[in-house]
Chain A
Amino acid sequence: MTRLTVPKTYKLYIGGKFPRSESGRTYEVATKKGAFLANAALASRKDARDAVVAARAAFSGWSGATGYNRGQVLYRIAELLEGRREQFIDELMATESLSKSAATAQLDTAIDAWVWYAGWADKYVQVAGNGNPVSGPYFNLSTPEPSGVIAIVAPQDSSSLLGLVSVIAPALVSGNTVVVVAHQNAPLSAISLSEVLATSDVPGGVVNILTGSPAEIAPWLASHADVNGLDLAGAERLEWVDLQIAAADTLKRVLGPVVGVPAPSVERIVQWTETKTVWHTKSLI
């Protein structure tokens, strides 16, 4: 007797929940050769709006956690990814037509990127912050603080999982919350990553993952007044100059398109922070 297949419904990840698109739309995800793999939700501008609301609501909790705590939570994501290797390797092989070794290599690099960024959560402040020399009886301290809600277009060319991890992890390290548009043609590993996030102590709303057309969603995120930063890593084939102009209207920090996948860097962490400088009187010495 043959067993019926149980195909998976791939949905969005907004506010810690897995809703379908508000618009009710889906699109077909296929292998590179065109064979049907799954239906994924085709997110609309209203899903993006809801995601920003969820991200904003989650910001105070996530940015208020200690860097040490955030580091632990980010490290746990890597632990859980490790435990679901088979699933991710299968999905990468199917969507990107990779060999098993190439898929494994991508997953390993992605997990290592999580671990690398997790380690920075309680250290980047010491690197990016400073005790400024002043001639007076004061301490003058500059410390980086998270910007807020970061909207991201994930890399769209190759490495769907590694590309996603390489753009969301640096934003999360300092305490930002993110709304990310996943790889359009290979979104399956992004949605499976959201299942990992949902079970790894990351508060709901800290990461919100949309699947669908970046060309459709990105303009709404770029012009959204409640988004504080815009990462156009995967926007090379979009009208990214227009997106930058739209972002400038509400004074967002913007990172431009990247070829391939951005390498791990402290600069990516610091990009999504703002520097707070305070004076503090020296007590009696």
Chain B
Amino acid sequence: MSAHVELSKLTKIYPTPKGPAIIVKDFDLRIKQGEFVCLIGHSGCGKSTVLSMLAGLNEITGGAIILAGKELAGAGPDRGIVFQSPCLLPWMTAMENVLLGVDQVFYTASKEERHQIAEYYLTLVGLGESLHKKPAELSQGMRQRVGIARAFALSPKMLLLDEPFGMLDSLTRWELQQVLIELWRKDQKTALMVTHDVDEALFLSDRIVCMTDGPEAEVGDIIEVNFPRPRVRQVVMEHPDYYKLRERLIEFLEVHAHKNKHKHAAPPAPTAPPAEALVDTQSAPASAPEPKHTSLMVAVE
């Protein structure tokens, strides 16, 4: 099967006073139709930069991205994006937030049909009772559910998820992983998700792409995850391969953490993803020109 999404020689360089900073270099990745791929790596390694280039929120310095046979130029609703923070507009209800996108994509449909689409996806993520609540009345987890519904309701060619559960407590995170995987199965969407939670990556994805540390980040290792679907968390975790894969991932991350030691004052503990998550939650997905520096700066503040 040919690739649905193709990233070739993707490169991101920022000009700085001290010369060009190469964040991502010659990043190659092909994703099949309907595949779920996780991008894993250390905070600031450039994985969010790759995602935001795919989203069209960050300009591509070199290389190209081809989605469903067409080269990408700029942002657009053909990609459903779930941001790290839910990014809901606080003056709109859950329904209105989803409709904002639905109205853009299905502008030929009648008002009633558009309402049905929005309501359908909000119901699927478990918010059938809270359609007309504003984000302030929803919990953090519920807001992210709206974010997921908004992305799926666009009927996009692919899904982009930028550490969507990074800000949630682990119970809510599990719940939402379940919601996401069920929707993904139902709609057969091609998905690329950035995370640094090893277990999350193993539970959700068909393939895990490990990124080497920036600067000049590239694909380090690719791990096929062949647990049978539909997946049940308990079954996955008891699968004989689970701990082998987990160890391989952690080892990869650990090796790159040691390489990193000279650059970081305090290197993040690689075996404890949640602690690391605290650092990265601070970096805005798209607006941070140099993810590593920004995240550190904000964390210090």
Decide whether A and B assemble into one complex: no
